[in-house]
Structure 1
Amino acid sequence: MPPRVHIVADDLTGALDSAATFAQRGARVRVACTPADFATALASGADVIAVATGTRDGGEADAVAKARIVAQALEGRDGLLFKKIDSRLKGHIAAELDALVPNGASLLVNPSIPALGRFCSDGAVTGAGVEARIDVAERIGRAVTVPDTPDQASIDAQLPEKLEETTFVGAAGLAEALARRLWPAPQMRALPRPGLPALLAIGSRDPVTSAQIDALGDVPLAEAPNGACPILPDVPLLLLRMTQGAKAINGAQAGAAFAETVARAHAQLRPATLFACGGESAAALLARLQISELDVLGEILPGVPVARCANGPPMLLITKSGGFGPPDTLVKLVKFLVNG
């Protein structure tokens, strides 16, 4: 039986993305939406337990405090530790790693995602969406060697023979390699079909997601400037999008307002399927709906995980990071929803 895998991510979409790689191969996967929910998730008996600390965009002190909560919950537990990091090395990576893993521990660090055209070369991240080379060791805060990664096979080959002696630090590419190693004979499970009514809540303003929205055409869309939308259409398929308001407010305020708006839309629509785009928006929304744990079932599209709420309203949750996916990603998703 494979060792249990513990995934620590600094945002919810990252936790779900990396966890879905394991679910795709038949592992039982539980995600805790906050560090406070992690201990309960650990008691679930799942093969893979992930936790979202929600610390990518906050202060370093908060990131360290939450990483320490996770470290305390993991103390004395057997299994592998996977520190999921942003492939462009955003967030408080070095500080969180220091709170989770002692200096001198053996690390395998590789933030590449070859499937997205993002690679490691000469110790730096390069490729799609990377304007200037990003030095990995500098962002990790430790003297690590990062092998060149021209493709997924090269990541697979970097895994050590004894996995238990290493802490893994990376993104979807490294998670995929680890999942393949631990579950070499995948047990494919049929995913539940998402259907209507459906609510698409998009808090990300990334140009990638904007292009995906533009490709949708006639899907009913309600805009929420600074997160607020007083009047919501009464339709079975609604796309609710946070936009820039007339007055500038900080991201936390806008996110809280958007979570409140989406909660009202949820109460009105009672969706069977909820799609959330953008890590902060997804986390704020689930907190507002008092959903603390998710069972990850797999991917409905490449890089687009689907999960069932382990508590709270009975619905499917589909998530996507703001900067991910080809222009027709939402078009394909809507086809799934409409066709059932």
Structure 2
Amino acid sequence: MLWHRGGPTGLPEEFSVLLHEEVPVTPGAYVPHVTPQRVLALADDLSGAAETAIALRVPGRLSLGVPTSPGPADASLVMDLDTRQAGPDTAAEAVRDALALTAGHRLLFKKVDSLLRGNVASEAAAFAVGARAVVTATALPVLGRTVRDGIVHLRGAALHTTDAWRAEHRPPPQSVAAVLTGLHTAGVPLCTVRSGVGHLSSHLRDLAEQGRHAVCDAETDDDLDAVAAATLALGPGFRALGCGGLAAAFGRLLVQRAPEADVPSTPRSHSPKRPLLMVVGTAEPTAVAQIAQLTALGAHHFVLPTRDLLDGTCTLPATLAPNGITVLSIGNTPAVTPSSSRRLADALARTAARLSAEGPAPDLVLTGGETARRTLDALGVAELTPLGQVHHGAVLSRTADGRSVVTRPGSFGDTRSLLRIAHALRPAATAHLEGEHL
């Protein structure tokens, strides 16, 4: 019997050997020796790329853009293609350029937004070129995002009946297949997903032979584990498309990291002498409550009016307090619209970079993929080393010059999200909260 994460893998024997070699420890006792598998993962924004890098649990690097070389032969590579706000043709070209670095990678994974925002259609079509088939599963159970009958649900409500796309230019899609317009798809219902890895794998192979790409229902992590296992069993000709939930399922199969991979309450890597700058670029309603948690601790909060931000006339401190926490957020007068969001993200990034230029380089907390990427571009950061996560989606990385960077999607996290991040990076400032649930 082969064991995985403390229990049997449940995989067919012919697949289990791809993951493990049995290594005797004491007579009659075996533990798995897991060989790391090279993965090439592509994301359309930075927070999603960081989430994917941690979820996959593979040693490697996170590149902001397509690097000039694939890097070490034994390392995996996650790329932020920065295409969420690009045109469809530009997005597809970025995927094609990235796929030129596929040599030696066993798994090719395309990360998409769990709410199906962005250039999903054009990127998926480009990602499918050269593959036997693409297997899609976009559920993210940890956030209550599931797929049944091919329809994305948010805590039980169909995506197209919610306001989750309120900041988008167009209405939300009514199904996953409706987004994948460039692919000949076939839905895979829950009963098939749960029929056993061997049966599911055969079904995916049959669909591929018909020239069809599978779109799998999933409501639980076990469902995603089955999709990941069935996809890997079919070999590198089958590629995977999904969000952080599917990435985590592959991570559970491919490489085992100890539970300590998550960020401890006091990371060894934090530098308390650096300022801590939090740049909140999300328009999510919970952001106000999250910032209020920090200001109650004495954090300095600067609300930047949109007109001043775009004009470059914001009033800011000359330098950041060496041991303090500073928060920048965007005001809502006039209201932020989809057409202005990219310009505001650029302006917010330039403002954060200008504030970072004086005094010690600050550690950074960046919410919203667009904000995170624009800020790091303005600071000249081209690559990150992912280290772990504070909570789901809040990923801690290290820059080449030694600063800590936490990235987090704008829609992730409850009202204590930023407080938990501050506690991880600056435990002394939140020591009195140690006994509370963070």
TM-score above 0.5, yes or no? yes
> Aligned runs of 1:257-276 on 2, under 5 Å?
257-276=347-366
Preserved CA contact (<8 Å) 2:366 2:408: yes
Preserved CA contact (<8 Å) 1:111 1:171: yes
Preserved CA contact (<8 Å) 1:10 1:53: yes
Match of 2:146 among 116, 119, 132: 119
Match of 1:315 among 403, 416, 433: 403
Q: Cα gap change, 1:328/1:46 in structure 2, threshold over 3 Å: closer, same or farther?
A: farther
Q: Cα gap change, 1:183/1:286 in structure 2, threshold over 3 Å: closer, same or farther?
A: same
Preserved CA contact (<8 Å) 2:63 2:383: yes
Preserved CA contact (<8 Å) 1:207 1:323: no
Q: Does 1:291 align with 2:331?
A: no
Preserved CA contact (<8 Å) 1:89 1:139: yes
Q: Does 1:7 align with 2:57?
A: no
Q: Which has the larger radius of gyration?
A: 2
The residue number in structure 1 matching 2:122 is 95
The residue number in structure 1 matching 2:340 is 250
What code does the residue aligned with 1:149 have? A
Q: Cα gap change, 1:195/1:243 in structure 2, threshold over 3 Å: closer, same or farther?
A: farther
Q: Cα gap change, 1:170/1:320 in structure 2, threshold over 3 Å: closer, same or farther?
A: same
- Deviations along 1:264-305, whole A, 9 cap, x unmatched? 221235245211111111111111111101111111222211
Alignment gaps of 5+ in structure 1: none
- Deviations along 1:232-280, whole A, 9 cap, x unmatched? 2643210111223559772332222211110122123524521111111
What code does the residue aligned with 1:30 have? R
Alpha-carbon offset, residue 124 of structure 1:
1.2
Preserved CA contact (<8 Å) 1:88 1:134: no
Preserved CA contact (<8 Å) 2:76 2:105: no
The residue number in structure 1 matching 2:65 is 34
Alignment gaps of 5+ in structure 2: 1-34, 162-172, 188-214, 429-438
Preserved CA contact (<8 Å) 1:200 1:274: yes
Report percent identity of matched pairs. Answer: 26
Match of 1:240 among 328, 338, 347: 328
Q: Does 1:335 align with 2:335?
A: no
What code does the residue aligned with 1:8 have? L
Q: Secondary structure at the match of 1:268?
A: coil
The residue number in structure 2 matching 1:225 is 305
Q: Secondary structure at the match of 2:216?
A: coil
Preserved CA contact (<8 Å) 2:40 2:105: no
Number of aligned positions between the proteins: 331
Q: Secondary structure at the match of 2:294?
A: coil
Query: TM-score, normalised on structure 2?
Result: 0.70
Report which stretch shifted further, 155-164 or 114-123.
Answer: 155-164
CA distance in 1, matches of 2:137, 2:125: 17
The residue number in structure 1 matching 2:270 is 194
Alpha-carbon offset, residue 125 of structure 1:
0.7
What code does the residue aligned with 1:135 have? S
The residue number in structure 2 matching 1:152 is 221
The residue number in structure 2 matching 1:16 is 50
Q: Cα gap change, 1:180/1:104 in structure 2, threshold over 3 Å: closer, same or farther?
A: closer
CA distance in 1, matches of 2:388, 2:223: 24
Preserved CA contact (<8 Å) 2:135 2:216: no
Alpha-carbon offset, residue 308 of structure 1:
0.6
Higher relative contact order (CA 8 A, sep 6+): 1
CA distance in 1, matches of 2:219, 2:93: 36
> For the aligned residues, what is the CA RMSD?
2.4
CA distance in 1, matches of 2:143, 2:359: 35
